[in-house]
Protein backbone atom coordinates (compact mmCIF):
# COMPACT_ATOMS: atom_id res chain seq x y z
CA UNK A 1 0.00 0.00 0.00
CA UNK A 2 1.07 3.59 -0.55
CA UNK A 3 0.72 6.81 1.41
CA UNK A 4 2.18 8.13 4.64
CA UNK A 5 2.54 5.68 7.48
CA UNK A 6 -0.22 6.14 10.09
CA UNK A 7 2.18 7.04 12.91
CA UNK A 8 4.70 9.04 10.92
CA UNK A 9 6.13 11.78 13.17
CA UNK A 10 5.74 9.84 16.43
CA UNK A 11 8.94 9.10 18.35
CA UNK A 12 9.05 6.55 21.16
CA UNK A 13 11.96 5.73 23.44
CA UNK A 14 11.74 2.11 24.57
CA UNK A 15 13.82 0.76 27.45
CA UNK A 16 12.65 -2.80 27.73
CA UNK A 17 13.20 -6.53 27.64
CA UNK A 18 11.30 -9.76 27.04
CA UNK A 19 7.79 -9.63 25.46
CA UNK A 20 5.25 -7.02 26.53
CA UNK A 21 7.18 -3.77 26.18
CA UNK A 22 9.13 -4.81 23.04
CA UNK A 23 5.88 -5.93 21.42
CA UNK A 24 4.24 -2.61 22.31
CA UNK A 25 7.12 -0.73 20.74
CA UNK A 26 7.21 -2.91 17.64
CA UNK A 27 3.46 -2.50 17.16
CA UNK A 28 4.01 1.26 16.96
CA UNK A 29 7.15 0.95 14.83
CA UNK A 30 5.38 -1.18 12.24
CA UNK A 31 2.77 1.56 11.93
CA UNK A 32 5.42 4.15 11.13
CA UNK A 33 6.57 5.50 14.50
CA UNK A 34 10.27 6.02 15.08
CA UNK A 35 10.90 3.62 17.95
CA UNK A 36 14.35 3.81 19.51
CA UNK A 37 15.08 0.82 21.71
CA UNK A 38 17.75 1.66 24.27
CA UNK A 39 19.62 -1.29 25.75
CA UNK A 40 22.56 -1.64 28.11
CA UNK A 41 25.88 -2.16 26.37
CA UNK A 42 26.05 -5.85 25.53
CA UNK A 43 22.28 -6.20 25.47
CA UNK A 44 19.48 -6.75 27.97
CA UNK A 45 18.57 -10.14 29.41
CA UNK A 46 16.49 -11.05 26.35
CA UNK A 47 19.21 -10.41 23.77
CA UNK A 48 20.31 -14.05 23.65
CA UNK A 49 17.01 -15.73 24.48
CA UNK A 50 16.00 -18.86 22.58
CA UNK A 51 15.18 -19.74 19.85
CA UNK A 52 18.54 -19.06 18.25
CA UNK A 53 19.73 -19.03 14.65
CA UNK A 54 22.75 -21.22 13.86
CA UNK A 55 24.89 -18.09 14.28
CA UNK A 56 23.69 -17.71 17.87
CA UNK A 57 21.52 -14.68 17.03
CA UNK A 58 18.28 -14.67 19.00
CA UNK A 59 15.27 -15.18 16.75
CA UNK A 60 13.17 -14.08 19.72
CA UNK A 61 14.98 -10.73 20.01
CA UNK A 62 15.02 -10.04 16.28
CA UNK A 63 11.37 -11.06 16.01
CA UNK A 64 10.21 -8.53 18.63
CA UNK A 65 12.39 -5.62 17.54
CA UNK A 66 11.72 -5.33 13.83
CA UNK A 67 11.58 -1.84 12.35
CA UNK A 68 13.18 -0.19 15.41
CA UNK A 69 16.43 1.68 15.91
CA UNK A 70 18.92 0.36 18.45
CA UNK A 71 20.99 2.42 20.88
CA UNK A 72 23.19 1.07 23.64
CA UNK A 73 24.20 3.00 26.76
CA UNK A 74 26.01 2.27 29.99
CA UNK A 75 23.01 2.67 32.29
CA UNK A 76 25.24 2.89 35.36
CA UNK A 77 26.99 6.00 34.05
CA UNK A 78 25.35 9.32 35.04
CA UNK A 79 26.28 10.73 31.65
CA UNK A 80 24.37 7.94 29.92
CA UNK A 81 21.38 8.55 32.19
CA UNK A 82 21.53 12.22 31.23
CA UNK A 83 21.54 11.20 27.55
CA UNK A 84 18.24 9.38 28.04
CA UNK A 85 16.73 12.53 29.55
CA UNK A 86 18.15 14.61 26.71
CA UNK A 87 16.60 12.27 24.15
CA UNK A 88 13.22 12.64 25.85
CA UNK A 89 13.53 16.40 25.77
CA UNK A 90 14.88 16.63 22.22
CA UNK A 91 12.55 14.27 20.39
CA UNK A 92 10.24 16.96 19.00
CA UNK A 93 6.48 17.56 19.26
CA UNK A 94 5.69 13.92 18.43
CA UNK A 95 8.25 12.66 20.92
CA UNK A 96 8.67 12.71 24.66
CA UNK A 97 7.12 9.24 24.80
CA UNK A 98 8.73 6.59 26.98
CA UNK A 99 7.79 2.90 27.12
CA UNK A 100 9.58 0.77 29.69
CA UNK A 101 9.34 -2.25 31.92
CA UNK A 102 12.62 -1.47 33.68
CA UNK A 103 12.15 -1.13 37.43
CA UNK A 104 14.17 0.50 40.19
CA UNK A 105 15.76 3.21 38.06
CA UNK A 106 14.86 6.67 39.39
CA UNK A 107 16.59 8.36 36.43
CA UNK A 108 14.06 6.67 34.15
CA UNK A 109 11.00 7.48 36.27
CA UNK A 110 8.17 9.81 35.36
CA UNK A 111 9.05 12.53 37.89
CA UNK A 112 12.66 12.78 36.73
CA UNK A 113 11.75 12.92 33.05
CA UNK A 114 8.88 15.31 33.61
CA UNK A 115 11.43 17.76 35.00
CA UNK A 116 13.11 17.92 31.58
CA UNK A 117 9.91 17.67 29.54
CA UNK A 118 6.62 18.61 31.27
CA UNK A 119 4.47 16.98 28.57
CA UNK A 120 6.27 13.62 28.73
CA UNK A 121 4.16 10.51 28.23
CA UNK A 122 5.55 7.73 30.40
CA UNK A 123 4.17 4.18 30.40
CA UNK A 124 5.61 1.79 32.96
CA UNK A 125 4.84 -1.92 32.63
CA UNK A 126 5.08 -3.80 35.91
CA UNK A 127 4.19 -7.22 37.23
CA UNK A 128 1.39 -6.39 39.68
CA UNK A 129 -0.54 -3.25 40.57
CA UNK A 130 1.48 -2.88 43.79
CA UNK A 131 4.73 -2.82 41.81
CA UNK A 132 5.88 -6.31 42.78
CA UNK A 133 7.40 -8.58 40.16
CA UNK A 134 5.54 -11.12 38.05
CA UNK A 135 5.90 -12.76 34.64
CA UNK A 136 3.37 -14.31 32.31
CA UNK A 137 3.98 -17.81 33.63
CA UNK A 138 3.40 -16.89 37.28
CA UNK A 139 0.44 -14.64 36.48
CA UNK A 140 -1.19 -17.43 34.49
CA UNK A 141 -0.63 -19.90 37.33
CA UNK A 142 -2.16 -17.51 39.85
CA UNK A 143 -5.32 -16.81 37.87
CA UNK A 144 -6.52 -20.34 37.21
CA UNK A 145 -6.21 -21.12 33.51
CA UNK A 146 -3.71 -24.02 33.87
CA UNK A 147 -6.20 -25.86 36.10
CA UNK A 148 -9.01 -25.76 33.53
CA UNK A 149 -6.76 -26.65 30.58
CA UNK A 150 -6.02 -30.16 29.39
CA UNK A 151 -7.66 -33.61 29.40
CA UNK A 152 -10.60 -34.19 31.72
CA UNK A 153 -8.77 -36.87 33.70
CA UNK A 154 -5.59 -34.83 34.21
CA UNK A 155 -4.98 -33.74 37.79
CA UNK A 156 -2.09 -31.24 37.65
CA UNK A 157 -1.73 -27.86 35.93
CA UNK A 158 -1.23 -27.60 32.18
CA UNK A 159 0.79 -24.56 31.11
CA UNK A 160 0.55 -23.35 27.54
CA UNK A 161 3.41 -22.14 25.35
CA UNK A 162 1.80 -18.87 24.26
CA UNK A 163 2.55 -15.92 26.61
CA UNK A 164 -0.99 -14.63 26.23
CA UNK A 165 -0.88 -11.98 28.96
CA UNK A 166 2.45 -10.58 27.72
CA UNK A 167 0.96 -10.27 24.25
CA UNK A 168 -2.20 -8.58 25.46
CA UNK A 169 -0.13 -6.31 27.72
CA UNK A 170 2.05 -5.21 24.81
CA UNK A 171 -0.97 -4.35 22.71
CA UNK A 172 -2.60 -2.50 25.63
CA UNK A 173 0.66 -0.55 25.99
CA UNK A 174 0.53 0.56 22.36
CA UNK A 175 -3.11 1.62 22.72
CA UNK A 176 -2.36 3.43 25.98
CA UNK A 177 0.46 5.46 24.45
CA UNK A 178 -1.64 6.43 21.45
CA UNK A 179 -4.52 7.47 23.72
CA UNK A 180 -2.16 9.57 25.85
CA UNK A 181 -0.70 11.21 22.74
CA UNK A 182 -4.22 12.03 21.51
CA UNK A 183 -4.96 13.60 24.91
CA UNK A 184 -1.71 15.57 24.78
CA UNK A 185 -2.61 16.94 21.37
CA UNK A 186 -5.86 18.29 22.83
CA UNK A 187 -4.62 19.55 26.20
CA UNK A 188 -0.84 19.87 25.95
CA UNK A 189 -0.53 17.69 29.05
CA UNK A 190 1.65 14.63 29.48
CA UNK A 191 0.64 11.39 31.17
CA UNK A 192 1.93 8.93 33.73
CA UNK A 193 0.60 5.46 32.96
CA UNK A 194 1.20 2.20 34.79
CA UNK A 195 0.18 -1.09 33.26
CA UNK A 196 0.33 -4.21 35.41
CA UNK A 197 0.67 -7.56 33.67
CA UNK A 198 -1.51 -9.25 36.28
CA UNK A 199 -4.20 -6.59 35.82
CA UNK A 200 -4.24 -7.28 32.09
CA UNK A 201 -4.82 -10.97 32.79
CA UNK A 202 -7.49 -10.25 35.40
CA UNK A 203 -9.25 -7.78 33.12
CA UNK A 204 -9.43 -10.25 30.27
CA UNK A 205 -10.47 -13.12 32.53
CA UNK A 206 -13.21 -10.85 33.81
CA UNK A 207 -14.26 -9.65 30.37
CA UNK A 208 -14.56 -13.24 29.12
CA UNK A 209 -16.81 -14.29 31.99
CA UNK A 210 -14.40 -16.58 33.82
CA UNK A 211 -14.39 -14.47 36.99
CA UNK A 212 -18.11 -13.76 36.94
CA UNK A 213 -18.78 -17.48 36.63
CA UNK A 214 -16.57 -18.16 39.65
CA UNK A 215 -18.27 -15.45 41.72
CA UNK A 216 -21.59 -17.13 41.03
CA UNK A 217 -20.27 -20.35 42.50
CA UNK A 218 -19.49 -22.26 39.31
CA UNK A 219 -16.21 -24.14 38.91
CA UNK A 220 -15.12 -24.44 35.27
CA UNK A 221 -14.30 -28.10 34.46
CA UNK A 222 -11.54 -29.47 32.29
CA UNK A 223 -13.04 -30.61 28.98
CA UNK A 224 -10.01 -31.50 26.86
CA UNK A 225 -10.35 -30.29 23.29
CA UNK A 226 -14.08 -29.65 23.48
CA UNK A 227 -15.49 -26.11 23.29
CA UNK A 228 -17.04 -24.85 26.50
CA UNK A 229 -20.67 -23.91 25.94
CA UNK A 230 -20.93 -25.27 22.41
CA UNK A 231 -19.69 -28.04 20.16
CA UNK A 232 -16.17 -28.19 18.79
CA UNK A 233 -13.45 -30.78 19.08
CA UNK A 234 -10.69 -32.63 17.26
CA UNK A 235 -11.08 -35.80 15.19
CA UNK A 236 -8.63 -38.37 13.83
CA UNK A 237 -8.55 -38.86 10.06
CA UNK A 238 -7.89 -41.88 7.83
CA UNK A 239 -4.42 -40.63 6.89
CA UNK A 240 -3.17 -40.36 10.48
CA UNK A 241 -3.77 -36.65 10.95
CA UNK A 242 -6.20 -34.69 13.13
CA UNK A 243 -8.63 -31.91 12.31
CA UNK A 244 -10.39 -29.37 14.52
CA UNK A 245 -14.05 -28.78 13.77
CA UNK A 246 -16.07 -25.94 15.33
CA UNK A 247 -19.81 -25.21 15.19
CA UNK A 248 -20.45 -21.94 16.98
CA UNK A 249 -23.90 -21.35 15.49
CA UNK A 250 -26.97 -23.36 14.58
CA UNK A 251 -26.13 -22.94 10.90
CA UNK A 252 -22.66 -24.37 11.41
CA UNK A 253 -24.07 -27.48 13.05
CA UNK A 254 -26.78 -27.93 10.43
CA UNK A 255 -24.21 -27.69 7.65
CA UNK A 256 -21.94 -30.18 9.44
CA UNK A 257 -24.85 -32.61 9.77
CA UNK A 258 -25.68 -32.23 6.08
CA UNK A 259 -22.07 -32.58 4.88
CA UNK A 260 -21.51 -35.74 6.92
CA UNK A 261 -24.85 -37.30 6.00
CA UNK A 262 -25.84 -37.40 9.67
CA UNK A 263 -28.81 -35.03 9.63
CA UNK A 264 -31.22 -37.91 10.12
CA UNK A 265 -29.34 -39.58 13.00
CA UNK A 266 -28.91 -36.22 14.72
CA UNK A 267 -32.65 -35.49 14.40
CA UNK A 268 -33.46 -38.86 15.96
CA UNK A 269 -30.91 -38.24 18.71
CA UNK A 270 -32.55 -34.89 19.47
CA UNK A 271 -35.93 -36.65 19.75
CA UNK A 272 -34.58 -39.32 22.10
CA UNK A 273 -32.74 -36.84 24.30
CA UNK A 274 -35.37 -34.12 24.22
CA UNK A 275 -32.67 -31.79 22.93
CA UNK A 276 -32.36 -29.08 20.33
CA UNK A 277 -28.94 -29.06 18.69
CA UNK A 278 -29.63 -25.59 17.28
CA UNK A 279 -29.04 -24.41 20.87
CA UNK A 280 -25.43 -23.98 22.02
CA UNK A 281 -26.15 -25.38 25.45
CA UNK A 282 -27.70 -28.59 24.14
CA UNK A 283 -24.81 -29.20 21.77
CA UNK A 284 -22.45 -28.73 24.71
CA UNK A 285 -24.43 -30.91 27.11
CA UNK A 286 -24.48 -33.78 24.61
CA UNK A 287 -21.04 -33.21 23.13
CA UNK A 288 -19.78 -36.73 23.80
CA UNK A 289 -22.57 -38.52 21.98
CA UNK A 290 -22.42 -36.02 19.10
CA UNK A 291 -18.69 -36.62 18.81
CA UNK A 292 -19.22 -40.38 18.93
CA UNK A 293 -21.49 -40.16 15.89
CA UNK A 294 -19.06 -37.93 13.99
CA UNK A 295 -15.80 -39.74 14.81
CA UNK A 296 -16.28 -42.70 12.39
CA UNK A 297 -17.09 -40.33 9.52
CA UNK A 298 -13.80 -38.44 10.00
CA UNK A 299 -11.82 -41.62 10.69
CA UNK A 300 -12.86 -43.09 7.32
CA UNK A 301 -11.71 -40.08 5.27
CA UNK A 302 -8.46 -38.34 4.52
CA UNK A 303 -7.89 -34.66 5.21
CA UNK A 304 -8.20 -33.95 1.49
CA UNK A 305 -11.53 -35.77 1.28
CA UNK A 306 -12.80 -33.96 4.37
CA UNK A 307 -11.84 -30.67 2.79
CA UNK A 308 -13.73 -31.47 -0.40
CA UNK A 309 -16.90 -32.11 1.60
CA UNK A 310 -16.65 -29.29 4.16
CA UNK A 311 -15.15 -26.47 2.10
CA UNK A 312 -17.87 -24.27 0.70
CA UNK A 313 -20.10 -24.87 3.71
CA UNK A 314 -20.19 -22.69 6.80
CA UNK A 315 -18.43 -25.35 8.90
CA UNK A 316 -15.28 -24.04 10.59
CA UNK A 317 -12.46 -26.57 10.43
CA UNK A 318 -8.70 -26.87 10.08
CA UNK A 319 -6.05 -29.54 9.88
CA UNK A 320 -3.64 -29.45 12.82
CA UNK A 321 -0.31 -28.20 11.53
CA UNK A 322 3.17 -27.61 12.86
CA UNK A 323 5.12 -24.39 12.47
CA UNK A 324 7.40 -26.29 10.09
CA UNK A 325 4.39 -27.02 7.86
CA UNK A 326 3.68 -23.28 7.53
CA UNK A 327 7.32 -22.60 6.71
CA UNK A 328 7.48 -25.34 4.09
CA UNK A 329 4.20 -25.23 2.19
CA UNK A 330 4.10 -21.66 0.91
CA UNK A 331 1.70 -20.17 3.47
CA UNK A 332 4.15 -17.43 4.43
CA UNK A 333 5.16 -16.56 0.87
CA UNK A 334 1.52 -16.47 -0.22
CA UNK A 335 0.26 -14.10 2.47
CA UNK A 336 0.73 -10.35 1.82
CA UNK A 337 1.35 -9.92 5.56
CA UNK A 338 4.81 -11.40 5.00
CA UNK A 339 7.77 -10.06 3.11
CA UNK A 340 11.28 -11.27 2.63
CA UNK A 341 13.92 -9.54 4.76
CA UNK A 342 17.63 -9.96 5.23
CA UNK A 343 17.94 -10.19 9.01
CA UNK A 344 21.48 -9.54 10.27
CA UNK A 345 22.82 -12.63 12.01
CA UNK A 346 20.04 -14.81 10.64
CA UNK A 347 19.84 -14.49 6.87
CA UNK A 348 16.95 -14.25 4.45
CA UNK A 349 13.53 -15.17 5.80
CA UNK A 350 9.88 -14.25 5.61
CA UNK A 351 8.77 -11.91 8.40
CA UNK A 352 5.41 -10.32 9.19
CA UNK A 353 4.57 -6.64 8.90
CA UNK A 354 1.72 -5.14 10.93
CA UNK A 355 -1.44 -7.24 10.55
CA UNK A 356 -3.39 -3.98 10.23
CA UNK A 357 -3.87 -3.83 6.46
CA UNK A 358 -4.41 -0.15 5.73
CA UNK A 359 -3.17 2.78 3.69
CA UNK A 360 0.48 3.41 4.45
CA UNK A 361 1.29 -0.06 5.74
CA UNK A 362 4.93 -0.76 4.94
CA UNK A 363 6.45 -4.15 4.40
CA UNK A 364 8.42 -5.80 7.19
CA UNK A 365 11.76 -4.35 8.18
CA UNK A 366 14.49 -6.27 10.01
CA UNK A 367 15.55 -5.71 13.58
CA UNK A 368 18.77 -3.71 13.84
CA UNK A 369 21.99 -5.18 15.18
CA UNK A 370 22.38 -4.24 18.82
CA UNK A 371 23.57 -0.63 19.11
CA UNK A 372 23.69 -0.09 15.36
CA UNK A 373 21.99 3.31 15.50
CA UNK A 374 23.74 4.76 18.55
CA UNK A 375 25.88 7.28 16.71
CA UNK A 376 23.11 8.27 14.28
CA UNK A 377 20.65 8.94 17.11
CA UNK A 378 23.17 10.95 19.12
CA UNK A 379 24.13 13.09 16.16
CA UNK A 380 20.60 13.30 14.74
CA UNK A 381 18.38 13.87 17.77
CA UNK A 382 20.89 15.41 20.15
CA UNK A 383 22.95 17.30 17.58
CA UNK A 384 26.28 15.92 18.77
CA UNK A 385 29.16 15.93 16.37
CA UNK A 386 30.59 12.65 15.12
CA UNK A 387 33.67 13.35 17.20
CA UNK A 388 31.60 13.87 20.36
CA UNK A 389 29.69 10.65 19.76
CA UNK A 390 32.93 8.76 19.19
CA UNK A 391 34.40 10.21 22.38
CA UNK A 392 31.40 8.97 24.39
CA UNK A 393 31.93 5.52 22.91
CA UNK A 394 35.63 5.63 23.81
CA UNK A 395 34.70 6.55 27.38
CA UNK A 396 32.30 3.61 27.64
CA UNK A 397 29.26 5.89 28.09
CA UNK A 398 27.60 4.62 24.92
CA UNK A 399 28.04 1.49 22.86
CA UNK A 400 30.07 1.45 19.71
CA UNK A 401 28.13 2.23 16.56
CA UNK A 402 27.73 -0.87 14.42
CA UNK A 403 26.52 -0.92 10.85
CA UNK A 404 22.83 -1.44 10.35
CA UNK A 405 22.43 -4.42 8.10
CA UNK A 406 19.73 -5.80 5.90
CA UNK A 407 16.63 -4.29 4.52
CA UNK A 408 13.13 -4.93 3.24
CA UNK A 409 12.83 -6.34 -0.20
Helix (H, G, I), strand (E, B) or coil at 133: coil
pLDDT attached to residue 17:
96
Q: Nearest CA to 123 among 35, 216, 219? A: 35
pLDDT at 398: 98
Q: Please state the domain count of the chain.
A: 2
- Inside any domain, residue 364: yes
CATH number of the domain where residue 365 is located = 3.40.50.10540
Is 123 found in the same domain as 59? yes
166 tagged catalytic? yes
SS3 249: coil
Residues 168 and 272 in one domain: no
Do 287 and 353 have their domain in common?
no
Considering only CA atoms, which of 346, 327, 223 is closest in space to residue 285? 223
What integer pLDDT is reported at residue 91 of this predicted model? 87
Which helix or strand (DSSP H or E) is residue 115 part of?
helix 110-116
309 and 337 inside one domain: no
Residues 257 and 369 occupy one common structural domain: no
Do 40 and 162 fall into the same domain?
yes
Distance between CA atoms of residues 327 and 28, nearest Å = 26
Measured CA to CA, the distance from residue 118 to residue 386 in angstroms comes to 30
Are 249 and 380 found together in one domain?
Answer: no
pLDDT in tens, the chain (409 residues): 457 899 999 999 999 999 999 999 999 999 999 999 999 999 999 999 999 999 999 999 999 999 999 999 999 999 999 999 999 999 889 999 999 999 999 999 999 999 999 999 999 999 999 999 999 999 999 999 999 999 999 999 999 999 999 999 999 999 999 999 999 999 999 999 999 999 999 999 999 999 999 999 999 999 999 999 999 999 999 999 999 999 999 999 999 999 999 999 999 999 999 999 999 999 999 999 999 999 999 999 999 999 999 999 999 999 999 999 999 999 999 999 999 999 999 999 999 999 999 998 899 999 999 999 999 999 999 999 999 999 999 999 999 754 333 333 2
CA dist., res. 199 & res. 44, Å (int):
25
Query: Computed over its alpha carbons, how large is the radius of gyration of the chain?
Result: 26
- Distance between CA atoms of residues 308 and 331, nearest Å: 20
Examine the domain organization and report whether 305 and 363 are in the same domain.
no
Q: What is the reported pLDDT for 3?
A: 76
pLDDT attached to residue 406: 34
Coil, strand or helix at 324: helix
Dist. CA 335–CA 328, nearest whole Å = 13
Specify the pLDDT at position 403.
35
Same domain, 385 and 353: yes
Taken in order 214, 216, 222, 224, the sign of the CA dihedral is: negative
Give the contacts of 322 (CB within 8 A, at least 6 positions apart).
Answer: none
Chain-centre distance of CA 348, in angstroms?
Answer: 23
231 found inside a domain: no
CA dist., res. 402 & res. 95, Å (int)? 25
Are residue 190 and residue 260 in the same domain, yes or no?
A: no
3-state secondary structure of 271: helix
Angle between helices 250-260 and 263-273 (to 10 degrees): 120
Residues 144 and 283 in one domain: no
Q: Structural domain of residue 250, as residue ranges?
A: 242-319
Q: Are residues 273 and 145 in the same domain?
A: no
Question: Is 405 contained in some domain?
Answer: no
Catalytic residue chosen out of the listed positions 39, 136, 166, 255:
166
d(Cα 337, Cα 56) in Å, to the nearest integer?
27
Amino acid sequence: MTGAAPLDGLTVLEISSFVAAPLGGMTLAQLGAEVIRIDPIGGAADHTRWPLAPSGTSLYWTGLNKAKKSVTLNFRDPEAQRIVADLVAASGPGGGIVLTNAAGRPWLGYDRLRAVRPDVIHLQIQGRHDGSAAVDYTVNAGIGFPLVTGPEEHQGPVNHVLPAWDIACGLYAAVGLLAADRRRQRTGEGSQITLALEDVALALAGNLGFLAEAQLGESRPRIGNHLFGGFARDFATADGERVMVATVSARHFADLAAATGLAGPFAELERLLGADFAADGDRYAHREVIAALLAPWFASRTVAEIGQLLDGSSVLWSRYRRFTDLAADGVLAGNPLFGEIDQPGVGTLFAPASPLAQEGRAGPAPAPPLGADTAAVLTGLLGLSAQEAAALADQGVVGGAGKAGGGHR
